[in-house]
Structure 1
C-alpha cells in the first residue's frame, strides 16, 4: 500500500457526505470539539470519519496542524476542532489538537 490512501468505497463516502451535508453542518458547528479516525491520507492532510456523525467527512490539512505534528497514519484516532464548512465538496475542516 502507498503512503497515501483513499478508501476503496471513496465514491460512496463522498455520496453519503453530500446527502448528509445539511445535517452534518447542524451537528458540527464551528468550534465543536470532535474525535475521529483517519480514513484517507494525502500529502496535504488527512480525511476523517468523525465520531457520532459517520456520514460527515472531516479534512485536517497539514497547514492546520500543530507545528512539528506529523501527518497521522491510516486508522489513527485524532481529536480536533471544527474550523470551517466547505460546501462545494461537503467537507468539514478540522484543526487537529492531538
Structure 2
C-alpha cells in the first residue's frame, strides 16, 4: 500500500450532497466542537476524514494543525479532536488532531 492516497470515491459522500448539507454541517459542528471519525485518505499535507454523525461531511486535518512530533495517522485510524475552521470554498471541516488510535 502506498504511503499517500486520495480517498476512495466509494467512501466519499457525493459532492451535491456535501453542498446541500453544508449549512447543516456548519451548524452541527461549530468551532471548538469535539468530533471523531476515521482516516480515509493521506497526503503529505494532512489526512482526510469521514466524520461520525455527519454523513455528508468531509474533515481535513492538516499537518500544520498537528503536534510537530506526531506522524500522520494511518488509513483506517480512528481520530478525535476539535473543529478549528469551516472551509466554505471546498466544504471541508478543518480539524486539529492531537491523538488517534488504530481501528481494530
The Cα of 1:18 is off from its aligned counterpart by: 2.1
In the alignment, structure 2 segments of 5+ residues that lack a partner are 100-104
Which protein is richer in helix relative to its size?
Answer: 1
TM-score, normalised to structure 1, is 0.91
| Structure-2 residue corresponding to 1:2 | 2
Q: 1:80 to 1:11 in 2, by over 3 A?
A: closer
2:40 matches 1:39? yes
Q: How many residues matched?
A: 98
Tell me, yes or no, if the aligned pair for 2:40 and 2:50 is still in contact at 8 Å: yes
| Structure-2 residue corresponding to 1:66 | 67
Tell me, yes or no, if the aligned pair for 1:81 and 1:97 is still in contact at 8 Å: no
The Cα of 1:97 is off from its aligned counterpart by: 2.1
Q: Secondary structure at the match of 2:95?
A: strand
Q: Which runs of 4+ in 1 moved over 3 A?
A: none
Aligned equivalents of 2:49, 2:30: Cα separation in 1? 16
RMSD (CA atoms): 1.7
Q: Secondary structure at the match of 1:17?
A: helix
In the alignment, structure 1 segments of 5+ residues that lack a partner are none
The Cα of 1:10 is off from its aligned counterpart by: 6.6
